Structure 1
Amino acid sequence: MTCEIVERKGGTVVKEKKALDDQKEEQKKLVLLELKRQKEEEDRDTGLDEKERQLKGLAGGLLAFIYFGYYSGYSSIFGKFLKMSNLVDVDRYGICKEDIFYCANIVLTMLYVRAQFGLNIGRPLARKFKTLDTAKKRARFSEQLWGVAMALASFTYGMVIIITYPEFFGHVEMWSTYPVLQMPFAIKFYYLYETAFWISTLVYLNIEQGRKDWMIMTIHHIFTIGLLVSSYYVHLTSIGLLIHVTMDVADIFLPTAKIFKYLDMEKCTNIAFVFVVISWIYSRHFVFLRIIFDSVYMSEKYIDKRWDPQNGYYYTENIKWLLVASLCILEILFCMWLASMLRIIYDAIRGKEINDIRSDDED
């Protein structure tokens, strides 16, 4: 009897020891998995850092080459990159082929500045927050921080131009001043700056970590660049600038809401999201629809429609409907994103957590 009891106890001890060994082995595996995850995150951070260093080096090198060439006595060649071309009167500029060089300089500058921002401000700041515990979150945080700064700067600059030059942006003047053959430096710079911004954003879209909405964002960026370039070329700069400023309003609040989301600040996320929805509906489904309406009826009333490229007239009946169709395609995209927002609102009412409006997950 005593031997049987001892045998049972011995078996129990062996089982407990085996269970303890299994538990230790499981903990060891978890530790190794966590170390592996941390290593992968470090590699992702390092990979993005390396891409941005390469981009910064390339853009910085080209900028240095341009400035060196300009100050080495080749200003007639490199001056096109650094000085606005085609001054036709006091603070009045026309469009010309040399604008490509000036725009290219802005693209290089923006790529260089954004790379510096990501390396020295955006992601280093993100590492200070415990909630941003993955390379993807840190990259997205930096991206949204840059987006807020750019949208705010663009909207402010655009509004200053609209207020300063009412002769170009009145409800009637937007159409009656066509074609805008001579524009102030501020308007021309705005157009080239915005074109450069979207080109640089398209470049970044292809060096960042994978995202679900890569295709739709690529289409959106290419479409936006196409609209900016074509409206600039056919002298529809007044209406083009107004459209872009209209778009900037929601683009201030959208990345702000995402930043709060990444920081797990639920109340701030909800408040920012309310502003996103209000600004989105007002700017993209009221003001923008009014612009589409005016493109059909106001242009018919105030624009002399004829094909006369030598005198700057490109606005024909076909161009008019091409413009309207392009704006309608944009409005369809906006409606798709609005549907996503309404779906989020519905989920929030049912007690679910607010998620990002435009998906940017890796998987």
Structure 2
Amino acid sequence: MNTNRMEALLNYWLWQEEYWLPPGISWQDTEMEQGEGHFPLPRDLIYTLPLAVVFIVLRYVFERIIAIPFSKCLGVKDRVRIRATSVPKLETFYKHNSRQPSQSEVVSLMKLCGLSQKKIQTWFKHRRNQDRPSNTKKFCEASWRFVFYLISFTAGLCSLINTPWFWDQKECWTGYPKQPVADVHYWYYMLEMSFYLSLLLSISVDVKRKDFKEQVIHHIATLFLISFSYCANYVRVGTLVMLVHDSSDFILESAKMLHYAVWTRTCDSLFIVFAVVFLVTRLVVFPSRIIHTTMVVSMDFFQPFFGYYFFNALLLVLQALHVFWAYLIVRMAFKFAFMGKVEKDERSDAESEVDENEEEEEDEESEEERDGSNWEQQKERINSKRTSLAKNCVLNNLTNQRNISSRLPKAR
């Protein structure tokens, strides 16, 4: 009885026809007989939860068996970082209060630990860099996303290229909402939603990036978009949305992989390809083809209802994120045009919580420690450098004089 009552309440509050179907159409009108095909049902989305767990397990296996050995083959190298000394009070403050203490907090920590200001600041710098993700970790994440996006885009394109709505978006609404869903598009939906759900579940342990908040909003909006479009049978439009997104994502992830492997020229070339594909698909194709057909063309087939407004609102949220990322990409392209190289991936590759200058300072400190902290050793090293510089200067002067003397007879 309780189960039937809960189901009745759920049907009354959530699955009301005016939320999901155009005016004048009921759930009975969407029922299909055997042989007509499969109509998408909300209960089908339950399978995405175990599939998301499967994706997380597959990613764990993939990164350790394939991605890590592949990163070594490409020459990905990790920085050797100085580990912070064990100071329990500073460690407690670091984990529970702040990773970057203010000046007043540093003063209070000086009194608490009995250390100088410089030692406390150095400790926090080493501790932050200690938590900084390695290039191998970032390479593994990028390679996992690259493999999925490449397979998803290839499979999605093969399944859609012969459909009528791929070439003419008006066909997305022919016969709506009683449109059967092919098995290949059903699995396309299930796997895409499961993958984005796995990314959302693992985002807290993944590399934290500059656009962390935008990535969370993107994943949530994508999950809402996929689940709602499936329940409202916006599957034809939904497949086009997923295909447009996958078309540039796998290029970006491949460029990241080569960036971590320091394949600079190939990475820069892929970045140019990615920028062109992203700007064309997200700023031209997506608004002119997909948003236009959902907001304008669909009104020729049915009157607007709640699902119409909700679905288009989610598409506009995605488009706002596209504009934000396009701004970062154009700024990178501007730097590339005038500086000759891509300095960093401002879209999602640079971490926001760690200052890159700290790593450079740490590298200098580690070199000093490796060479020796004794003043005598440093003095000998400085003297040897001066001697080598002097020799180089003498050799350069002798070489220049020889070159000049060799040219004099010809000049005469």
Q: Which category describes the TM-score, using the shorter chain as reference length?
A: 0.5 to 0.7
> Where in structure 2 are the equivalents of 1:86-165 lying within 5 Å?
89-90=34-35, 92-134=37-79, 135-165=133-163
Q: Give the Cα separation in 1 of the matches to 2:337 and 2:57.
A: 43
Q: Is the 8 A contact 2:76 2:136 kept in 1?
A: no
Q: How does 1:1-363 map to 2 (within 5 A)?
A: 89-90=34-35, 92-134=37-79, 135-166=133-164, 170-290=168-288, 291-301=290-300, 303-305=301-303, 316-351=304-339, 353-354=341-342, 355-356=344-345, 357-361=347-351, 363=354
For 1:7-57, what per-residue CA distance to the aligned partner results, in whole angstroms no more than 9, with x for missing partners?
Answer: xxxxxxxxxxxxxxxxxxxxxxxxxxxxxxxxxxxxxxxxxxxxxxxxxxx
Distance apart, 1:248 and its partner CA = 0.7
Q: State the TM-score, normalized to the length of structure 2.
A: 0.60
Partner of 1:31: none
Q: Please give the per-residue CA displacement for 1:285-312, whole angstroms capped at 9, x wherever unaligned.
A: 11101111222221011x223xxxxxxx
How far has the Cα of 1:281 moved from its partner? 1.3
Report the 3-state secondary structure (helix = DSSP H, G, I; strand = E; otherwise coil) of the residue aligned with 2:173.
helix
Q: Distance in 2 between matches of 1:109 and 1:87?
A: 32
Q: Deviations over 1:216-246 (max 9, x none)?
A: 2111101110110111111111001111101
Q: Distance between the aligned counterparts of 1:273 and 1:304, measured in 2?
A: 42
The Cα of 1:163 is off from its aligned counterpart by: 2.4
| 1:180 Cα deviation after fit | 4.5
Residue by residue over 1:106-131, the C-alpha shift from the partner in whole angstroms, topping out at 9 and shown as x without a partner, is 22221111110112211233244544
CA distance in structure 2 between the aligned counterparts of 1:353 and 1:203, rounded to whole angstroms: 35
TM-aligned CA deviation for residue 140 of structure 1: 1.0
Q: Which moved more, 1:348-357 or 1:233-242?
A: 348-357
Aligned residues of 1:131 and 1:262 also touching (Cα < 8 A): yes
SS, match of residue 176 in structure 1? coil
Which residue matches 1:41?
none
Alpha-carbon shift at residue 210 of structure 1 (Å): 3.2
More displaced stretch, 98-107 vs 254-263: 98-107
CA RMSD of aligned residues (A): 2.3
1:20 is matched with which residue?
A: none
Shift of 1:149: 1.0
Q: Match of 2:141, as an amino acid?
A: E
Greater radius of gyration (CA): 2
Contact 2:153 2:243 in 1 (8 A): yes
- What letter corresponds to residue 238 of structure 1 in structure 2? R
The CA distance in 1 between the partners of 2:315 and 2:334, in whole Å, is: 28
Residue equivalent to 2:106:
none
The one-letter amino acid paired with 1:345 is A
Corresponding residue for 1:3? none
Dislocated runs of 4+, deviation >6 Å: none
Structure 1's 285 and 180: CA in aligned 2 closer, same or farther, altered over 3 A?
farther
Kept in 2, the 8 Å contact 1:162–1:169? The answer is: no
Amino acid at match of 1:95: P
SS of the aligned residue for 1:334 comes to: helix
Count of matched residue pairs: 267
Match in the other structure for 1:7: none
The alpha carbon displacement at 1:89 in A equals: 3.3
Q: Aligned partners of 2:136 and 2:337: how far apart in 1?
A: 29
Structure 1 gaps of 5+ residues are 1-85, 306-315
CA distance in 2 between partners of 1:255 and 1:87 (Å): 41
- For 1:55, the equivalent position in structure 2 comes to none
Q: Which amino acid in 2 is paired with 1:339?
A: Y
